[in-house]
A = this chain, B = another copy of it.
Amino acid sequence: MATIRDVAREAGVSTATVSRVYNGSRLVTETTTQIVLEAAARLDYWPNNAARSLSTNRTHVLGVVLPDLFDEFFSEIIRGIDHAARARRHQIILSCFHDNADELIATARSMRGRIDGLIAMAPDARSAQAIAEISRHFPVILLNPGFAVENCGSVGIANREGARSVVRHLRSFGHRRIAILRGPVGNTDAEERLRGYREAIGAGETQHQPLELQGDFSKSSGVLACDALLRFDPLPDAVFAANDYMAIGLLTALLEKGIRVPEDIAVAGFDDIALARYTNPPLTTVTADAYRLGATAVRRWFSASADGGSGHQRDILPTRLVVRESCGAGRSGPDTTDTETRHQHESNAGGPS
């Protein structure tokens, strides 16, 4: 394979000049540039990135570490990251890990010299700690952590405001007794959504009996919750399930018992999984833009690394209510409404080359 020296010889210039051509230095004459490029083409030369990285200490590669649970949400995140990175002429190294903090840290370490930074999703506190360790070496951005981690920027979604918008929506149809089907205890998304629900309910002051059911984000827990729901007396007007899977389980169970949705009881979910549009009735839910989550993480990474890598700024991405028919909306209404959650610390993106 041709090296920069071969090109230099072929073009009759020094390696420095060739290098300058490839790095866009303005110090090289137009004619020299042409000569060099032609020589390079003749030899099929392409710069060796390993050598470049060694010399410059920059790789133009971003590490991405995600849990092993692949689904539409994750692939959208990756797509967002890839596009944003590509727009800034960076590439990404992807690694999944298997809910094991040690493996995570080993992965991240083994990337030393291969990446300029890291975007990671830490499932638990221990992994987050491990990541904080890593952030001494290069900027790290956490995706949707529930907690603040020292020295790491982070990007999350507006769970609370999303939950509030669901309750507001249900209210707008006159529903007053609104139940919630909670997600797993300890899960940050679940707890933020619960908080949003409580705030919205509290604000309305129409509810005297707590209408909270425990679920675990699985479809079957939605099915199970149906019985408990029916034991409330009088029957609630509506249920907000903290994610779509539970909402779908609930829908199935209700359908089976002959209870009509939304006539007898309204149901809403959270996440807007692909399936939500095909349930019977189509599920009103909240969408979080996974693509944007990924893209924002990249943007945040670039600004962090321009700042020298420190700081722990946080972005919260807005969610959007997706109105379908499970809460009583007819086909005539607007299809979606924006919850207008404000971005925090949103900064513009111009990173370094």
Which residue numbers of A lie inside 8 Å of B, CB to CB? Answer: 1, 46-54, 59, 61, 68, 70-72, 74-76, 78-79, 82-83, 86, 91-96, 109-114, 137, 274-275, 278-279
Q: Which of B47, B54, B92, B279 contacts A48 (CB 8 A)?
A: B54
Q: Is the CB of B91 within 8 A of A91?
A: no
Q: Is the CB of B113 within 8 A of A48?
A: yes
- Knowing A70-B79, A79-B70, A92-B93 touch, does A50 contact B47 (C-beta < 8 A)? no
Q: Which of B48, B78, B95, B274 contacts A275 (CB 8 A)?
A: B274
Q: Given the complex of chains A and B, what is the CA–CA distance between A93 and B63 in angstroms?
A: 9
Q: How many copies does the complex hold?
A: 2
Q: Given the complex of chains A and B, what is the CA–CA distance between A82 and B79 in angstroms?
A: 16
Q: Is the CB of B70 within 8 A of A111?
A: no
Q: Given the complex of chains A and B, what is the CA–CA distance between A113 and B50 in angstroms?
A: 5
Q: Is the CB of A96 within 8 A of B83?
A: yes
- Knowing A75-B70, A78-B70, A93-B91 touch, does A109 contact B50 (C-beta < 8 A)? no
Q: Is the CB of A96 within 8 A of B75?
A: no
Q: Given the complex of chains A and B, what is the CA–CA distance between A74 and B70 in angstroms?
A: 10
Query: Mind listing 11 A-B residue pairs with CB under 8 Å?
Result: A46-B109, A50-B53, A51-B54, A51-B113, A71-B72, A82-B95, A86-B95, A91-B93, A91-B110, A93-B94, A274-B274
Q: Which of B50, B79, B93, B114 contacts A54 (CB 8 A)?
A: B50
Question: Chain B nearest CB: distance from A35 CB in Å?
Answer: 21
Q: Which of B74, B95, B110, B114 contacts A75 (CB 8 A)?
A: B74
Question: Chain B nearest CB: distance from A106 CB in Å?
Answer: 10
Residue of B with least CB distance to A137 = B1
Q: Given the complex of chains A and B, what is the CA–CA distance between A279 and B74 in angstroms?
A: 24
Residue of B with least CB distance to A133 = B44
* From A49, A137, A278, residue with most partner B Cβ within 10 Å: A49
- A82 contacts across to B, CB distance below 8 A: 94-96
Residue of B with least CB distance to A96 = B82
Residue of B with least CB distance to A54 = B50
Q: Given the complex of chains A and B, what is the CA–CA distance between A336 and B190 in angstroms?
A: 36
Q: Is the CB of B76 within 8 A of A70?
A: yes
Q: Which of B49, B137, B279 contacts A113 (CB 8 A)?
A: B49
Q: Given the complex of chains A and B, what is the CA–CA distance between A111 and B52 in angstroms?
A: 12
Q: Which of B54, B93, B278 contacts A278 (CB 8 A)?
A: B278
Shortest beta-carbon contacts, A-B, top 10: A48-B113, A50-B53, A75-B75, A49-B113, A50-B54, A50-B113, A46-B112, A49-B114, A70-B75, A94-B94
Question: Chain B nearest CB: distance from A134 CB in Å?
Answer: 11
Question: Chain B nearest CB: distance from A115 CB in Å?
Answer: 9
Residue of B with least CB distance to A56 = B50
Q: Is the CB of A114 within 8 A of B50?
A: yes
- A83 contacts across to B, CB distance below 8 A: 96
Question: Chain B nearest CB: distance from A294 CB in Å?
Answer: 11
- A75 contacts across to B, CB distance below 8 A: 70-72, 74-75, 78
Q: Given the complex of chains A and B, what is the CA–CA distance between A111 and B109 in angstroms?
A: 21
